[in-house]
Amino acid sequence: MASATNTNLNAVRETMDVLLEISRLLNTGLDMESLSICVRLCEQGINPEALSAVIKELRKASETLKVSENCPN
């Protein structure tokens, strides 16, 4: 039983490593934790395109906040 669990865990790790490499090749800017969260959300039925749109909007909002913090009033 432990052998099957280890095999499954190794397969999950290998899959995540491959997905992370693809993510890096595509310059998504996602780290392993963020990518893992995205995968879990997709597995739960979240629309990947909608998730992508939310991530893009959050990045835009974050950049806007950074710029506004650096601008003198």
Please, which pLDDT band fits residue 1 given cuts at 50, 70 and 90?
Answer: low
- Would you say residue 8 lies in a domain? yes
pLDDT of residue 4: 82
Q: How far apart are the C-alpha atoms of 73 and 57, rounded to whole Å?
A: 25
| Residues 30 and 22: beta-carbon distance below 8 Å | no
Q: How far apart are the C-alpha atoms of 50 and 41, rounded to whole Å?
A: 11
- Would you say residue 47 lies in a domain? yes
Q: How far apart are the C-alpha atoms of 20 and 13, rounded to whole Å?
A: 10
- Would you say residue 5 lies in a domain? yes
Judge whether residue 70 has pLDDT over 90: no
| Residues 30 and 38: beta-carbon distance below 8 Å | yes
CA 1 to chain CA mean position, Å: 31
- Would you say residue 73 lies in a domain? no
Residue type, 59: R
In terms of residue numbers, what domain contains 11? 1-68
| Domains identified in the chain, total number | 1
pLDDT digits (tens, 9 = 90+) for 19-69: 999 999 999 999 999 999 999 999 999 999 999 999 999 999 999 998 888
